[in-house]
Chains A and B, each alone.
Chain A
């Protein structure tokens, strides 16, 4: 249906609403059971699974686009930021099941060193072609080689046809 919410499992936390890149997960009006998320515009859903991955309750699932997907299959996902793994379960219409596990990150979340923690670059290097981390004076050289250069004539003469 792209993605759809199982209301009984939804606590209305809004994680799917916050993450959806297409801005199509929305809340119902609050009622007796509080607010619930739902997919308000399935035809603009990319099936990117971010709502599914980010739902702490497992309340969001995907039913493949009716235009071309026979019913009865399913792809389920569990993404774990503690073990940095993503676990996929693929259920075929005929009952075949496939499991896959892939790593998602090699470092803890939140561990990236911001650019401001590198020594401040000398201003004169602004007029050179080096970017951050490409020179001894710019936080080391992560290129692994001296930056490639190419000689280009300053002035070129051309004629335009047509």
Chain B
């Protein structure tokens, strides 16, 4: 017997992280009589990627102090992604991001002030320092106050989007369930904003035991933004650009404050520079029209690649030379430790266990397993309409299909009517980080308000049969567990019971991670793949998809959440592999290398790769969309 609650909203926000909180704030600001509802899988006070805290805000222009221009920022971001970004979207969030940061300041986020300039202490050209232990809690307070406590649905995981019965291109809400008590929620909404985070645990993490959860991006980032939108048939973009980050070994502690603020060098194991020995080779293969290896800030992906070449030459690992910049008992030591204590406490736990003194010895830096994200130094996500004044209104020579154009009236609206995206969910505009994600949430929400005003006479219809069939599907893993519960007996295990009729979430997750790691450029192959491997991955993913549909089982509500997280990850993984297969070049060698096409090919691949999935047939279509440079490109 399933308990079902219907919730009617003007605007539904899926995921109350940084982007969702920004959306909540802005939606209420523009629409005083709207009901804005947040569905949050965890507790909004500490959810999303910033749940632990953060030690810096990576995106702040400093316009009022004339520290930077928005154009320069777009050039930087474009360069970092090897030429391929939606410049309209990047310019758009960048011009607004300062007002977000100033709001945070006013709300009580301790940003390090710079008394000389009246602005903030710069960590780097684009970054500022914060005492960010309570960052998310502060931002959540603003979101809760904006929509009202009664409209924050904590512990409700959204699993499927709802489509209008009369218009398959119109999203009218979503279905989810409470992970504590199993109540099913049917949200009917005039506009829906997906800000459900990026994806960790799509690839095999480096630690497989107790440390499985110590991924760099949190384990609760279940790729739900992508899973939800892919299944609904929204056009996705740049899913191949899943990326890896260089981090302190095992704890995945951040390197920003060390490198930028303390000016700490990374060398190979012998104290030598890792970049110079590979510069010529990298220039030969990855220069392209953008002259990327010579940019003022070397692209993340090329720096990562040079380090990897050092390791493969046997001169690894990379070492962060903390002994040169951290001094015991001084400000520099407090900065070094706070960097971890704000956002990756595990790294300090490791150092305490290993008696490691950063002032005395260097520490290893490695690259993580790949993550699927749209807010960090990469750009996976939904293909969205640009803003009125920055996106080219029409691109001649291409079909009118939204999946080829840059503009269809509502900023940050996906190719489906009434469905907006923000944060990790919105593709082709990277480097948003926390402040930019919040800003993008604001942009999406304002645009959603405009959308519902323009469509005020539209009736939101939900088809009962469609709802019932989704609920049946949603609950099936629980029922499957009940069936034949006592026929199989195996001992208690860190895995789950062995049962020829059931696949538990962790068993499926390990299968997924093994496929992705070994065939689609994970760490065990040093991030190398090729056409054969990717095709093999697709074949094995197909089995996994079928097994999920026929065998997924859950013992309780919590496991049901894990099961649906797995489904979102599987769909995302498939998108990633299909995109990697489609792009016949190596554009971001630090993130992955297509060994059969090991160089950058600007002639044919200076383009976005877009895709659409048809859930009914299981078929994908992929195509190229040219990059329009609104800011002159070399």
Which of A90, A91, A131 gathers the greatest number of chain B CB atoms within 10 Å?
A: A131
- A48 and B345 form a contact (CB under 8 A): yes
B472 beta carbon closer than 8 Å to chain A:
no
Instruction: Determine the distance from Cα of A78 to Cα of B233 in the docked complex, in whole angstroms.
Output: 47
Instruction: Determine the distance from Cα of A46 to Cα of B210 in the docked complex, in whole angstroms.
Output: 10
Which of A62, A64, A77 gathers the greatest number of chain B CB atoms within 10 Å?
A: A64
- B134 and A105 form a contact (CB under 8 A): yes
Residues from chain B with Cβ under 8 Å of A161 in the complex? 603-604
A-B pairs with lowest CB-CB distance, top 5: A144-B64, A73-B352, A107-B108, A67-B211, A65-B211
Instruction: Determine the distance from Cα of A68 to Cα of B439 in the docked complex, in whole angstroms.
Output: 38
List, sorted by A's number, 7 A–B pairs whose CB atoms are closer than 8 Å: A23-B558, A105-B138, A116-B28, A143-B99, A145-B63, A157-B397, A162-B605
Residues from chain A with Cβ under 8 Å of B558 in the complex? 23, 26, 40-41
A45 smallest CB distance to B (angstroms): 5
Residues from chain B with Cβ under 8 Å of A98 in the complex? 337
Known interface pairs A129-B388, A129-B389, A131-B99; A104-B131 also in contact (CB < 8 Å): yes
Which of B138, B219, B349 gathers the greatest number of chain A CB atoms within 10 Å?
A: B349
- B624 and A148 form a contact (CB under 8 A): no
Minimum CB distance partner of A63 in chain B: B349
- A159 and B397 form a contact (CB under 8 A): yes
B393 beta carbon closer than 8 Å to chain A:
yes
Instruction: Determine the distance from Cα of A45 to Cα of B133 in the docked complex, in whole angstroms.
Output: 18
Interface of A is mostly: loop
Minimum CB distance partner of A70 in chain B: B353
Known interface pairs A92-B352, A103-B131; A132-B29 also in contact (CB < 8 Å): yes
Q: What is the 8 Å Cβ interface bit string for chain B, positions 382-419, against chain A (1 contact, 0 not)?
A: 00000111111111111000000000000000000000
- B131 and A144 form a contact (CB under 8 A): no
> For residues 57 through 73 of chain A, which have their beta carbon under 8 Å from a beta carbon of chain B?
62, 64-73
- B28 and A114 form a contact (CB under 8 A): yes
Residues from chain B with Cβ under 8 Å of A136 in the complex? none
> For residues 205 through 226 of chain B, which have their beta carbon under 8 Å from a beta carbon of chain A?
207-215, 218-220
Known interface pairs A142-B103, A152-B88; A75-B442 also in contact (CB < 8 Å): no
A148 smallest CB distance to B (angstroms): 4
Known interface pairs A92-B355, A150-B71; A19-B46 also in contact (CB < 8 Å): yes
Instruction: Determine the distance from Cα of A107 to Cα of B351 in the docked complex, in whole angstroms.
Output: 33
- B133 and A67 form a contact (CB under 8 A): no
Contacting B102 at CB < 8 Å: which of A46, A123, A144, A157? A144
B151 beta carbon closer than 8 Å to chain A:
no
Minimum CB distance partner of B43 in chain A: A19
Known interface pairs A65-B207, A65-B211; A120-B604 also in contact (CB < 8 Å): no
Q: What is the 8 Å Cβ interface bit string for chain A, positions 107-137, against chain B (1 contact, 0 not)?
A: 1111110111010110100110101111000
- B207 and A21 form a contact (CB under 8 A): no
Interface residues on A, range: 35 or more
Contacting A46 at CB < 8 Å: which of B103, B214, B337, B395? B214
- A152 and B630 form a contact (CB under 8 A): yes
A31 beta carbon closer than 8 Å to chain B:
no
Contacting B43 at CB < 8 Å: which of A21, A70, A156? A21
- B345 and A148 form a contact (CB under 8 A): no
> For residues 137 through 172 of chain B, which have their beta carbon under 8 Å from a beta carbon of chain A?
138, 141-142, 145-146, 155
- B390 and A105 form a contact (CB under 8 A): no
Number of residues on chain B facing chain A (CB within 8 A): 104
Instruction: Determine the distance from Cα of A73 to Cα of B355 in the docked complex, in whole angstroms.
Output: 8
Residues from chain B with Cβ under 8 Å of A126 in the complex? 30, 446, 449-450, 453
Which of B45, B109, B354, B449 gathers the greatest number of chain A CB atoms within 10 Å?
A: B354
A30 beta carbon closer than 8 Å to chain B:
no
Residues from chain B with Cβ under 8 Å of A143 in the complex? 63-64, 96, 98-99, 102
Known interface pairs A88-B341, A142-B99, A148-B70; A45-B353 also in contact (CB < 8 Å): no
A158 smallest CB distance to B (angstroms): 5
- A116 and B32 form a contact (CB under 8 A): yes
B369 beta carbon closer than 8 Å to chain A:
no
Minimum CB distance partner of A45 in chain B: B213
B346 beta carbon closer than 8 Å to chain A:
yes
Instruction: Determine the distance from Cα of A115 to Cα of B21 in the docked complex, in whole angstroms.
Output: 12
A25 smallest CB distance to B (angstroms): 11
Instruction: Determine the distance from Cα of A2 to Cα of B387 in the docked complex, in whole angstroms.
Output: 44
- B350 and A150 form a contact (CB under 8 A): no
B133 smallest CB distance to A (angstroms): 5
- A145 and B134 form a contact (CB under 8 A): no
Residues from chain A with Cβ under 8 Å of B439 in the complex? 131
Instruction: Determine the distance from Cα of A41 to Cα of B212 in the docked complex, in whole angstroms.
Output: 11
- A132 and B95 form a contact (CB under 8 A): no
Residues from chain A with Cβ under 8 Å of B103 in the complex? 133, 142
- B353 and A72 form a contact (CB under 8 A): yes
- A104 and B99 form a contact (CB under 8 A): no
- B107 and A49 form a contact (CB under 8 A): no
Minimum CB distance partner of A153 in chain B: B392
A100 beta carbon closer than 8 Å to chain B:
yes
Residues from chain A with Cβ under 8 Å of B334 in the complex? 100
B288 beta carbon closer than 8 Å to chain A:
no
Instruction: Determine the distance from Cα of A77 to Cα of B169 in the docked complex, in whole angstroms.
Output: 50
Minimum CB distance partner of A79 in chain B: B133
B123 beta carbon closer than 8 Å to chain A:
no
- A134 and B352 form a contact (CB under 8 A): no
**Given A21-B48, A88-B337: 20 more A-B contacts, CB < 8 Å:** A2-B210, A21-B51, A23-B558, A64-B353, A67-B250, A68-B207, A75-B348, A86-B341, A90-B352, A102-B131, A102-B338, A112-B145, A115-B26, A115-B29, A116-B28, A116-B29, A120-B32, A132-B442, A143-B102, A149-B389
- A23 and B352 form a contact (CB under 8 A): no
A83 beta carbon closer than 8 Å to chain B:
no
Instruction: Determine the distance from Cα of A107 to Cα of B111 in the docked complex, in whole angstroms.
Output: 12
